[in-house]
Amino acid sequence: MMALSHKYILKFLGTAMSSVTGTVSIITEMCEGDLKGLLLSKMGKMVEQDISTMVEQIVNATDYMHRQEMMHRDLKPANILFNCQEKAPSWEDIDLSMITLKVADFALARQCPANEDMTLSENVGTPAYWAPEISHGHYNAKVDIYSIGVITFELFMKGIKGKRITREDHRDGNWARLQDLPHQLRRFLEVTLVENPRERSTAATLLIHPFLIKSFPLEKYTQGEELLKGVLEVTCLFQAKSSDKLDMAIDQVAVTK
């Protein structure tokens, strides 16, 4: 955690040792609460834009971690903290467009080479958010992507539908049987809740997924805006289920623009 520095990752400030017990405490930036508690306060009160904005922040932090060859291994709402730019009398009154999420709790985080053939074997994390391959004892950073899919599905079910979910709801493609999933959300879950990790998306690819791009500040960019739009168009065409397909999309757009 000390080596990580990112807007959407909890900032490490130092350590302190108790002169009485000798206990060492970790000092971090202060946050108002966690996504788990916020979600309970907002059950049935969210809209799709709230979810895409929050998930974009989580994916952004995960992409940074993976580029640092670090895997979290325990992404879940309880390990994602938040701050709000405007104070509200209660969590129910918080304007979700004003919050900043902070990925926290790196107790289970490990260095993981970018090479997908390099795997770990420890069965760690929270089973409800586990990728299937963790129970098989061979996995890599793609487990974080599956966890993001579970979190996204949970945000939809609790935040919009006001319903709780179980582990079985997102296993074996059970989530896909829901008839009222928004189109782009369904496409996002199709590339995150994939049983085979080799077919699962990368964090970098997810950042330009149409479900998240609506929360991306495109108006800040002038140069390359058409290129970015073209990448999105071709990515949709290829469904961007692997980094190879994303590279193909970028190459094709670069030639045609």
What tens digit of pLDDT does each residue of 25-41 get?
888 899 999 999 999 99
According to CATH, where is 1.10.510.10 located in the chain?
32-204
Q: What is the average pLDDT across 11-18?
A: 86
User: Does the structure show a pLDDT above 80 at 170?
Assistant: no
74 is catalytic: yes
- pLDDT of 180: 83
Task: Classify burial at 83, counting beta carbons within 10 Å of its beta carbon; exposed 0-12, middle 13-18, buried 19 or more.
Answer: middle
With bands split at pLDDT 50, 70 and 90, how would you rate the model's confidence at 121? confident
Poorest-pLDDT segment among 33-42, 123-132, 247-256? 247-256
Give the active site residue among 34, 50, 63, 74. Answer: 74
Lowest mean pLDDT among 117-121, 143-147, 205-209: 117-121
Q: Is the pTM of this model over 0.85?
A: no
Domain spanning 32-204, CATH architecture? Orthogonal Bundle (1.10)
Least confident range from 17-26, 81-90, 113-122, 227-236: namely: 227-236
